[in-house]
Structure 1
Amino acid sequence: MIEVTFHNNLRVMDNAVFASAMRKATVIAVAQTPSLETAQDIFRYLQLQRLHKELAMLGVPLVLRDEVEEDAASLLYDSSELTTKQGTPYKMFTPFYKACRQQKVRELIAKPAPQKAPYETEFPQLALPQWAQKLADVWSQDVREVVEGFAVEYYGLGRDFPSTNAVSRLSPYLAVGAVSPVQLYQRFGHNASFIRQLIWRDFAYYTQRYYPTLASEPLREQFAKFPYQRDVAIQRVWQRGETGYPLVDAGMHELYATGYMHNRVRMVCTSFFTKHLLQPWQDGLHYFATHLVDYDEASNALNWQWVAGTGVDASPYFRVFNPTIQQKKFEADAYVAKWLPADYTAQPIVDHKTARERALRAYETIKGEN
């Protein structure tokens, strides 16, 4: 008998370890009991319910335990041996992207044949906290429905426009491994814009492998001395979506309601937090870790460091998003109207010009540091 752990690969299709085990012996699936403390815990529990049914059809029981070893997340390419011509890790995404594209994507691994008749077993029913029910109402258990509903032909031009339905909303399913990048490549590989984002996810894992402290320490060492002005009260205003900048506040309301935030709006919200408010990016990262259904340690850390200007291939620190201009440029009025409460009257807690100048002055204090 072989036990197979399901943690970051909650699927029966394109699962190499599971398929191999099923060929060798009787299999029992084990997974960790979700704590139900974070948004992703709730999403993971919903996906475990779906996985339980799929495993049962293959004659495989699923057992929940208090603690299991995490399995490795699936990536699109094997980048373990990719380095620059100098033999150093890639720190810029575009060369990494080009190097990946020189490789072949592995073949899809078929779902294994059943080991016996469908297995009848009860799945442990955990009591969802009251706040979590809204997440269960938003997210489908079946990733196939999400894949079928994704019109990839609109992705390249529309992904930056929050009011349109151009993004895939597949990131939560990728985060827990309900679908693999190779499965998505098989379906959407003709769309370069979408595949580029899958490779950005690979780049996050690649970076974290070489820099294990990606989620806690700036990769550009001079930012360790950056004069952030941690203020718990001002962070709570940002968290509640009461900054007085409609696009920022709409994003935070979407996050609270759904466990998700449109990618363009995430950039605006994270830039506002780290630059307008001069709050440490690590604090924002931890808040997202608790509230995002698609939380992924490597991707979340890489993205926060990118916006904060502290990481590899990061946005220049002097690039400070103006939330008002971003709302207009990306035609986000309908998005804002959808997510802001009807009684929204928040006034700006900082002036954009003044906050930008303050951020740039702060940057000048560490600009010459090595």
Structure 2
Amino acid sequence: MAMPRPALAWFRQDLRLADNPALRAAAEGGRPVLPVFVLDDAAAGPWAAGGAARWWLKSSLAALGRDLAARGAPLLLARGRAEIVIPALAEATGAAEVLAGRLYEPWARERDRRVAEALGAAGRDLRLLTSTLLREPETVRSGTGRPYAVYSPFAKSVIGMGEPEAPLPAPDRLRPLATPPPGEALDSLPLYPVPGEPDWARDFGTLWQPGEDGATARLGRFLAGPVTGYANGRNDPGTEGTSGLSPHLRWGEISPRQVWHAVRGALPKDPELAKPFLGEILWREFSYHLLFHRPEMPDRALRDRFAAFPFQPDAALLQAWQRGRTGYPIVDAGMRQLWRFGWMHNRVRMIAASFLVKHLLQPWQAGSAWFWDTLVDADLASNSASWQWIAGSGTDAAPYFRVFNPVLQGEKFDPEGRYVRRFVPELARLPDRWIHRPWEAPAAVLAGAGVALGRGYPRPAIDHAAGRDRALAALRGLPRAAAEAEAEAEDAVA
């Protein structure tokens, strides 16, 4: 009997063995499989992984490599243009086809087109399978056959399609190539930390365990506790009330199908408790739906009228925000948490993003770029959709006139100041009454707490009322397109 021709399993944003349709298809029939990861920064261009994400990727690739080697087929690492590297590996190994999880970023879709073309010229195929979403974007349509622009009807439509398919098990064994081609050493790839250089991400590892095992453990902790109180717990940045799964989902160390079914299974007698968290999974789906149908989303306002918004770029204000020196404790705590751990609590992300765009009038693209470089879970679809939502320029956006008051938000969601005290230690000794408004504290209280406003901790970069009024005045000057209003009304009832 003839030996079956090998296949390449091309890992991208699905760095796991379980529920990996591409890996399963590559290994079907017992054929030899070569697992491959290609670092292709040139194709991604400005959307190549940022610094924090590169820290995560290095650790995740190390974990994936160990898991694959334990099953018999080591991971081959390469770098360069995928449309050159992948066809060359297929030629060198005699692979009949290349299998991969489908991607939706504009640059990735164009790259896959080039790879498929190069493989096809040699009589080989690129087969893409659903791996990172519950549903393919083309399959979710409104009653008029159009893509959705509003989250609620989109989510209702996805739910109406029925439960996602059950996750696939991880393969027990993989048949390796007898003589696989050489690859790169992990430390030779331009990822972080760089051997021999200072480790700016030294605290990341105290919070995160990249890799499939880390994802499984994180999901287990969530199901063992926070999931039952998620509706309220997700808004308290001072406690572990969220799942912490976003970076694992971003790199595909766990699939949305696995998470969906695990949460459903953990709450069989009270499915209503699952809805708030599953809604977050659907928001992620919606973000990809938007990116697929509106590929300009990472760069340009989705509502045309917001292209004319009179932002006032200011390098000093932007840097104060980036470094957690705005004078608003809840904002500063969030930005410092981000800098230290590569992650920020979601409620605080909204507060900090709103403050940058609306109080400081800085372009949302500047905030998005900072998050892209500093978040371990930086995801082009979710990052772009969320920034456009908070800025008011997205198709399904918070009304621009909703300007978060950072003081009231802090007092509501961090009433005892636990979160602020942890990440803004220079305010730690302030009484609860003043922790979110230190500039209003009596001089004796400040002195007793060791707070020197303007020296140890900054005064507010802008008065809240003045910032809000300025933002609303800028909004009033924007045009309103009748066609846009009609489209919103149609999507709202789709």
Q: What band does the TM-score fall into relative to the shorter chain?
A: over 0.9
On the 8 A contact 1:49/1:123 being kept in 2, the answer is no
Amino acid at match of 1:82: V
Say whether 1:322 aligns with 2:322: no
Q: Pick closer, same or farther for the CA change 1:106–1:352 going to 2, 3 Å.
A: same
Aligned to 1:197: 280
Structure 1 stretch displaced more, 239-248 or 333-342: 333-342
Say whether 1:115 aligns with 2:190: no
Identify unmatched segments of 5+ residues in structure 1.
none
Aligned counterpart for 1:346 among listed residues 437, 458, 462: 458
On the 8 A contact 2:331/2:352 being kept in 1, the answer is yes
Aligned to 1:145: 217
Q: Pick closer, same or farther for the CA change 1:122–1:55 going to 2, 3 Å.
A: farther
Aligned to 2:477: 365
Q: Pick closer, same or farther for the CA change 1:37–1:281 going to 2, 3 Å.
A: closer
Shift of 1:78: 3.5
Measure, in 2, the Cα distance between the counterparts of 1:146 and 1:360: 41
On the 8 A contact 1:43/1:136 being kept in 2, the answer is no
Measure, in 2, the Cα distance between the counterparts of 1:336 and 1:199: 30
Measure, in 1, the Cα distance between the counterparts of 2:418 and 2:479: 39
Structure 1 stretch displaced more, 342-351 or 303-312: 342-351
Shift of 1:137: 3.2
Aligned counterpart for 1:91 among listed residues 149, 157, 165: 149
Shift of 1:37: 5.4
Aligned to 2:62: 49
Aligned counterpart for 1:65 among listed residues 78, 92, 116: 78
Q: Secondary structure at the match of 2:35?
A: strand
Aligned to 2:200: 131
Measure, in 2, the Cα distance between the counterparts of 1:203 and 1:124: 34
Measure, in 1, the Cα distance between the counterparts of 2:460 and 2:376: 29
Q: Secondary structure at the match of 2:362?
A: coil
Shift of 1:311: 0.3
Measure, in 1, the Cα distance between the counterparts of 2:147 and 2:423: 41
Aligned to 1:249: 332
Aligned to 1:31: 37
Measure, in 2, the Cα distance between the counterparts of 1:214 and 1:41: 23
TM-score by length of 2: 0.71
Measure, in 2, the Cα distance between the counterparts of 1:139 and 1:11: 17
Measure, in 2, the Cα distance between the counterparts of 1:171 and 1:34: 23
Amino acid at match of 2:321: W
Say whether 1:9 aligns with 2:39: no
Say whether 1:176 aligns with 2:206: no
Aligned counterpart for 1:334 among listed residues 407, 418, 424: 418
Measure, in 2, the Cα distance between the counterparts of 1:356 and 1:6: 46
Q: Write out per-residue CA displacement over residues 267-288 of structure 1, whole angstroms, 9 at most, x where no aligned residue.
A: 0000000000001101110110
Q: Secondary structure at the match of 1:168?
A: coil
Measure, in 1, the Cα distance between the counterparts of 2:32 and 2:346: 43
Q: Write out per-residue CA displacement over residues 329-353 of structure 1, whole angstroms, 9 at most, x where no aligned residue.
A: 1125101111113375121010000
Say whether 1:81 aligns with 2:143: no
The number of residues matched between the two structures is 370
Q: Pick closer, same or farther for the CA change 1:305–1:339 going to 2, 3 Å.
A: same
Measure, in 2, the Cα distance between the counterparts of 1:123 and 1:110: 29
On the 8 A contact 2:22/2:101 being kept in 1, the answer is no
Measure, in 1, the Cα distance between the counterparts of 2:32 and 2:421: 54
Measure, in 2, the Cα distance between the counterparts of 1:239 and 1:34: 28
Select the structure of larger CA radius of gyration: 2
Shift of 1:116: 4.7
Aligned counterpart for 1:21 among listed residues 14, 21, 26: 26
Shift of 1:34: 8.7
Amino acid at match of 1:352: H
Q: Pick closer, same or farther for the CA change 1:54–1:86 going to 2, 3 Å.
A: same
Measure, in 2, the Cα distance between the counterparts of 1:369 and 1:227: 18
On the 8 A contact 1:11/1:178 being kept in 2, the answer is yes
CA RMSD of aligned residues (A): 2.3
Aligned to 1:217: 300
Aligned counterpart for 2:371 among listed residues 267, 288, 298: 288
Q: Which has the higher contact order (CA 8 A, sep 6+)?
A: 1
Measure, in 2, the Cα distance between the counterparts of 1:329 and 1:246: 13
Amino acid at match of 1:128: P
Amino acid at match of 1:354: A
Measure, in 2, the Cα distance between the counterparts of 1:229 and 1:310: 17
On the 8 A contact 1:34/1:45 being kept in 2, the answer is no
Q: Write out per-residue CA displacement over residues 271-316 of structure 1, whole angstroms, 9 at most, x where no aligned residue.
A: 0000000011011101100000001000000000000000011000
Measure, in 2, the Cα distance between the counterparts of 1:158 and 1:214: 31
Measure, in 1, the Cα distance between the counterparts of 2:476 and 2:335: 30
Using the aligned pairs only, state the percent identity: 36
Q: Secondary structure at the match of 2:55?
A: helix
On the 8 A contact 1:42/1:136 being kept in 2, the answer is no
Q: Secondary structure at the match of 1:320?
A: coil
Structure 1 stretch displaced more, 108-117 or 248-257: 108-117
Aligned counterpart for 1:101 among listed residues 159, 166, 170: 159
Aligned counterparts, 1:259-274, within 5 A? 259-274=342-357
Shift of 1:125: 3.5
Q: Secondary structure at the match of 1:132?
A: coil
Q: Write out per-residue CA displacement over residues 32-69 of structure 1, whole angstroms, 9 at most, x where no aligned residue.
A: 34988510111011111111111112111111111347
Measure, in 2, the Cα distance between the counterparts of 1:160 and 1:367: 35
Identify unmatched segments of 5+ residues in structure 2.
1-5, 42-48, 84-99, 104-131, 268-273, 428-455, 483-494
Shift of 1:203: 0.2
Aligned to 2:114: none
Shift of 1:138: 2.4
